[in-house]
């Protein structure tokens, strides 16, 4: 019945394979080591008040917007709090793309939700892949000026990990002036805050920046993100968003995370993550089965295995021990690539031990022969 009545494009559409969904059948969250969704490794503790829970929250809770404004140094009228950065992506597409007519442009390998939200809305997806050095193909972008309404850039990139150079972002902004919204997804910007382009909002009316509390702030379960843009863009997005997008408990917890002690904890977490990431990258580089470790400015490391067989062997050996990482090998130019989120020191050392152990019990050669 649903198949007969639903919009045609939904019938064959595959929903986002979130890290959680991919392992939904593998039992409880407990006892597993989750290194597949770029989450932080430990939760914080927060106070939630139910004093006004009988009332609808503000459309944009003031405590939350003020706290994020202070942290980001962006004025409240240039901020929109959303149900995760994912909702920001969806709102931008629904606001700027006429269904069955307009297109978005993405630069793969990149974050999967841009294309999924577009498909869901009936917007086409133009692909201009990143170059071999994971930077923007400016010639390719130029060829698409006038053909797209929204350009999604991700810096630091997911799953690649590297920052785009500010010069490249600037060139892209200049190319698409007047013809498209240029979104810079800064989900991981806390790992290199000096590289944010948020201060450019005054210069570029078509610049939109996405932020989230899911990564460096360790609040993926909260579902809270922010869209930073000029006020006319915010006003337009506000017409499309739900009337009460941020629940009161979400605003309470997020405000606490954005107060001074919360910011200090975030900073410490970022520093610790940077150290563990460096150690993991060094270890990976020394492994004979590892061909390439990509530079990362975020809380994960992407690496390329010598063969598809070795990639599967490593992935499956880890799954067998309840350690979950993310296979990125289906993405453009990422054959044989896996991505590991930076968990705790203990989790990463278990991961290394597990891989080492599986190679001593099964030599790489037998792996190759079995396949
Ligand atoms: C995780 C992530 C998001 C989504 O963040 P939420 O706030 O959890 O919805 C958006 N963009 C990129 C690049 C991400 O990695």
Q: Is 185 in the pocket of ligand 1 (CB under 6 A)?
A: yes
Q: Is 154 in the pocket of ligand 1 (CB under 6 A)?
A: yes
Q: Is 252 in the pocket of ligand 1 (CB under 6 A)?
A: no
Domains (range + CATH), the chain: 2-40+262-370 (3.90.1150.10), 62-259 (3.40.640.10)
pTM of this prediction?
0.95
Q: Is 107 in the pocket of ligand 1 (CB under 6 A)?
A: no
Q: Digits of tens for pLDDT over the chain (371 positions)?
A: 888 998 888 888 888 777 666 676 555 666 799 999 999 998 889 999 898 899 999 999 999 999 999 999 999 999 999 999 999 999 999 999 999 999 999 999 999 999 999 999 999 999 999 999 999 999 999 999 999 999 999 999 999 999 999 999 999 999 999 999 999 999 999 999 999 999 999 999 999 999 999 999 999 999 999 999 999 999 999 999 999 999 999 999 999 999 999 999 999 999 999 999 999 999 999 999 999 999 999 999 999 999 999 999 999 999 999 999 999 999 999 999 999 999 999 999 999 999 999 999 876 556 555 55
What's the 212 CA to ligand 1 centre distance in angstroms? 7
Q: Is 299 in the pocket of ligand 1 (CB under 6 A)?
A: no
What's residue 257's pLDDT? 98
3-class secondary structure for the chain?
CHHHHCCHHHHCCCCCCCHHHHCHHHCCCCCCEECCCCCCCCCCCCCCCCCCCCCCCCCCCHHHHHHHHHHHCCCHHHEEEECHHHHHHHHHHHHHCCCCCCEEEECCCCCCHHHHHHHHHCCEEEECCCCCCCCCCHHHHHCCCCCCCEEEEECCCCCCCCCCCHHHHHHHHHHCCCCCEEEEECCCHHHCHHHCCHHHCCCCCCEEEEEECCCCCCCCCCCCEEEEECHHHHHHHHCCCCCCCCCHHHHHHHHHHHCHHHHHHHHHHHHHHHHHHHHHHHHHHCCCCEEEECCCCCCEEEEEECCHHHHHHHHHHHHHCCEECEECCCCCCCCCEEEEECCCHHHHHHHHHHHHHHHHHCCHHHHHHHC
- Give nearest CA residue, ligand 1 atom 2: 187
Q: Among 38, 91, 93, 111, name the best residue to mutate to test ligand 1's pocket (greatest count of ligand atoms within 8 A of Cβ).
A: 111
């Amino acid at each position: 019945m649903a198949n007969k009545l639903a919009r045609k494009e939904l019938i064959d559409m595959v929903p986002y394979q979130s890290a959680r969904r991919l392992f939904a059948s593998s039992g409880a969250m407990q006892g597993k080591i989750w290194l597949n969704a770029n989450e932080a490794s430990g939760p914080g503790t927060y106070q939630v008040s139910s004093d006004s829970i009988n009332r609808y929250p503000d459309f944009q809770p003031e405590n939350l917007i003020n706290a994020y404004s202070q942290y980001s140094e962006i004025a409240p009228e240039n901020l929109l709090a959303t149900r995760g950065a994912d909702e920001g992506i969806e709102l931008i597409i629904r606001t700027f793309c006429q269904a069955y007519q307009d297109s978005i442009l993405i630069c793969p390998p990149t974050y999967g939700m841009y294309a999924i939200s577009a498909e869901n809305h009936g917007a086409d997806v133009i692909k201009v892949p990143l170059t071999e050095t994971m930077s923007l193909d400016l010639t390719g972008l130029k060829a698409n000026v006038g053909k797209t309404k929204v350009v999604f850039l991700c810096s630091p990139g997911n799953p690649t990990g590297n920052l785009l150079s500010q010069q490249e972002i600037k060139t892209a902004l200049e190319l698409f002036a007047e013809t498209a919204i240029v979104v810079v997804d800064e989900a991981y910007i806390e790992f290199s805050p000096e590289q944010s382009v948020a201060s450019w909002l005054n210069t570029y009316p078509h610049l939109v920046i996405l932020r989230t509390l899911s990564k460096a702030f360790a609040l993926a379960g909260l579902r809270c993100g922010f869209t930073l843009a000029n006020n006319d863009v915010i006003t337009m997005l506000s017409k499309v968003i739900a009337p009460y997008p941020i629940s009161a408990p979400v605003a309470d917890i997020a405000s606490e995370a954005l107060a001074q002690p919360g910011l200090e904890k975030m900073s410490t977490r970022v520093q610790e993550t940077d150290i563990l990431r460096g150690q993991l990258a060094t270890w990976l580089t020394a492994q004979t089965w590892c061909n390439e470790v990509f530079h990362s400015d975020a809380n994960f490391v992407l690496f390329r295995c010598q063969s598809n067989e070795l990639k599967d062997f490593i992935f499956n050996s880890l799954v067998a021990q309840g350690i979950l990482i993310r296979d990125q090998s289906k993405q453009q130019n990422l054959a044989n690539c896996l991505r590991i989120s930076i968990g705790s020191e203990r989790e990463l050392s278990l991961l290394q031990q597990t891989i080492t152990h599986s190679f001593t019990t099964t030599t790489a050669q037998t792996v190759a022969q079995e396949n």
